[in-house]
Amino acid sequence: MKAIRISQYGGFDALQLQDLALSEPGQGEVRVKIDAAGINYIDTYQRSGQYKPPLPFTLGQEAAGVVDALGAHVADLQIGDRVVYGSVLGAYAEYAIIPAMRAVKIPNDITAQQAAAVFIQGLTAHYLAHSTFALKPGDGALVHAAAGGVGLLLTQIAKLCGARVIATVSTQAKAQVARDAGADDVIIYTQADFEAEVMRLTNNQKLDVVYDSVGKTTFEKSLNCLKPRGMMVLYGQASGAVPPFDPQILNAKGSLFLTRPSLAPYTATRDELLARANDLFAWMLDGKLRVRIEKTFPLDQVADARRLLESRAVIGKLLLIP
C-alpha cells in the first residue's frame, strides 16, 4: 500500500510517499480501506517535530473508509462497515490499522468525505462548547479563526447552545462565511483591533469565554476581552506557542480561568466518543450543522495540501483521497 511517511522531522520535503507491506489487524483492531483522510494542524506539529512521534511514522490522524479485515475479539464491527476514526496515527495512507474502539459507524446518509471532514474538528468543537466551557443561552463567546475548520463548526455549535458569538477572521470572504454560520458579529482583524471591537460590541461588558486556536499573536488581547471569572480556552497555536507568563496576570484581570485542552481526554471512553460523534451526525442529518469541504487532493499531492493549510487561507476542510 502507499502511505505518506516521515523519516525525519522537517519541512514539506519530509513528506515521503512510500510503498509499505499491507499488515493484518491484531487483537481488538480492524483494518480500514481509507476513502478520505482529514488534514489537521496537529499534522504540521508532528511533521516539524514540535510534537515528536517516534520515527519513522505515517502521518495523519483522521480518516473514513470501509472495514476490510477484523482482528480477534472485535464484536461490534463487521467487514464492510463504513467507519470514521480520529486520533490514531497513520491516516495518510491507502489502509490503516486502528483500535476497534476508536471506529465509529457512519450513518447511511453521510458520505465518507463528510465524515472525515467533520470528525476531529467537530469533536473538538463539541467538547469546547459542551464541556470545556459549557455554553448556555445568553453567554458571550469570542471565536478566533471562525472560518477555519474548527472555528466554522464551533460557531454553529455555539449558536445551537444559544450563545452570542463574536467571530474573528482575516478577510471579507471569510467574514461572510462566518456570518452564514451564524456569527452575531464578525471582526476582520486585519482591518480593526479585535480587542477594541469586542469592547465596542459589548459596551465594555466583555465576554464569558474566548476560544483561541491562534496562540501567540492573540493571547494577551484575548485575555483582555474576558469578564471577571471568564475563561480563556487556548486550544491551538497556529501563530506559535504562547510564551511563559505569570499566573498572577489572571488574578489581576479578574480571577480569570485558563485551560489548554486537547481532544484525547474528552473522548477517553468509547461512550463519550460515541455520544459526541452521534450528536454531530444527528445535527448534520437535521441540517443544523453544515460541513464545508474546501478542496480534496490525491495522496501524491500531500505537500500542496499542507502548503495550502499552513497558508491559513483555507475556509473549511481539506481532505486527502488515497
For 284, phi and psi rounded to 5 degrees? -65, -45
pLDDT of residue 37: 98
Can you tell me which residue has the cell 484581570? Answer: 253
Whether residue 285 is contained in a domain is answered as: no
**pLDDT (mean) for 251-260:** 98
Helix axes 270-285, 112-127, angle to 10 degrees: 120
Q: Which of 240, 260, 280 is the last residue of a domain?
A: 260
In tens, the pLDDT along 81-93 reads 999 999 999 999 9
- For residue 316, name the pLDDT band (cuts at 50, 70, 90): confident
CATH of the domain at 51: 3.90.180.10
pLDDT tier for residue 314 given thresholds of 50, 70 and 90: confident
Partnered with residue 38 across adjacent β-strands are: 319
- pLDDT higher than 90, residue 230: yes
- Per the structure, how many domains does the chain have? 2
Q: What is the residue range of 10's domain?
A: 2-119+292-321
**Secondary structure letter of residue 273 according to DSSP:** H
Confidence band, pLDDT 50/70/90 cuts, at residue 107: very high
- What DSSP assignment string belongs to 194-257? HHHHHHHHTTT--EEEEEESS-TTTHHHHHHTEEEEEEEEE---TT-PPPP--THHHHHTTS-E
Same domain, yes or no, for 200 and 250?
yes
Rounded Cα distance between 136 and 129, Å, is: 9
CATH of the domain at 150: 3.40.50.720
Residue 36 and residue 113 in one domain: yes
The answer on 154 and 225 residing in a single domain is yes
Query: Within this chain, do residues 110 and 50 fall inside the same structural domain, yes or no?
Result: yes
176: cell is: 461572510
Helix, strand, coil percentages, rounded to 5, for the chain? 35, 25, 40
**Same-domain check for residues 51 and 109:** yes
Give the model confidence (pLDDT) of 43-82 as tens digits: 988 999 989 999 999 999 999 999 999 999 999 999 999 9
Q: Which of 183, 36, 28, 43 is nearest to 101 (CA)?
A: 28
Which residue among 237, 260, 283 closes a domain? 260
Q: What is the pLDDT of residue 238?
A: 80
**Whether the Cβ atoms of residue 64 and residue 122 lie closer than 8 Å to each other:** no
**129 lies in some domain:** no
Tell me, yes or no, if the pTM score tops 0.85. Answer: yes
Q: Are residues 298 and 229 in the same domain?
A: no
- Report percent pLDDT > 70 for the chain: 100
> Are 141 and 256 part of one and the same domain?
yes
Q: Are 198 and 141 contacting, i.e. CB atoms less than 8 angstroms apart?
A: no
Burial class from Cβ neighbours inside 10 Å (0-12, 13-18, 19+) for residue 173 reads exposed
Cell numbers at 280, concatenated: 454531530
The string of pLDDT tens digits covering residues 155-195 is 999 999 999 999 999 999 999 999 999 999 999 999 999 99
**Longest Cα–Cα distance in the chain:** 62
Residue 306 lies in a domain: yes
Q: Are residues 168 and 202 in the same domain?
A: yes
pLDDT of residue 240: 85
